Amino acid sequence: MNDEDEDDNGLPKSYDNPAYDKFVEDCLSVGLDPYHYRGRNYYEGPGVNVDYPDELPNTVPCQRDSMGMGFVFYPTGALSRTYECRGCQREFGDRRIAKKCCNAGVAVV
Ligand SMILES: [Zn+2]
């Protein structure tokens, strides 16, 4: 990452990981304000603060850290995953849809 290419939020023009770039693009497309984040487990890449998880756009798989009243979400690094409903074992590409299927929880396949 080249420091001269950072914007005001510390975001580079692009990341080496395409999932990170898609995350930034998806956040911007819904009016969120992503920034360069250093998180747990040596994570360094884009993150975004939201008050409620529902505000996160339908984007690449993310993890989150609790930040007092809200959350910071940031990509796991993978572009896509398959999630399995623990209730009926149907598979979904979107974790939130899988979660609502039987309300029995989801597993990453
Ligand atoms: Zn189900």
Q: Annotate 43-63 with DSSP letters as a single string.
A: -EEEEEEESSGGGS-S-S-EE
Q: Is the pLDDT of residue 79 over 70?
A: no
How confident is the model at residue 87, as a pLDDT?
A: 96
Cα 47 to averaged position of ligand 1 atoms, centre (Å): 30
Q: What percent of the chain has pLDDT over 70?
A: 92
The 10 Å CB-count burial string (b at 16+, else e) for 19-38 is bbbbbbebbeeeebebbbbe
The rounded distance, in Å, linking the Cα atoms of 109 and 41 is: 22
CA 73 to ligand 1 centroid distance, Å: 25
**87 C-alpha to center of ligand 1: Å?**
5
State the Cα–Cα distance between residues 47 and 3, nearest whole angstrom. Answer: 18
Mean pLDDT along residues 92-109? 87
Please, which residues have CB less than 5 A from ligand 1, an ion? 85, 87-88, 101-102
Spacing, Cα 60 to ligand 1 middle (Å): 21
Res 1 pLDDT > 90:
no
Percentage of the chain exceeding pLDDT 90 = 53
Give the pTM.
Answer: 0.66
Judge whether residue 67 has pLDDT over 90.
no
Stretch 37-63: mean pLDDT, rounded? Answer: 90
In angstroms, rounded to a whole number, what is the distance separating the alpha carbons of residues 18 and 40?
21
Mean pLDDT, residues 36-61 = 91
pLDDT in tens, 19-35: 999 999 999 999 999 99
Q: What is the Cα–Cα distance from 98 to 106, expressed in whole angstroms?
A: 6
Ligand 1 midpoint to CA 34 (Å):
33
State in Å: Cα 58 to ligand 1 middle: 20
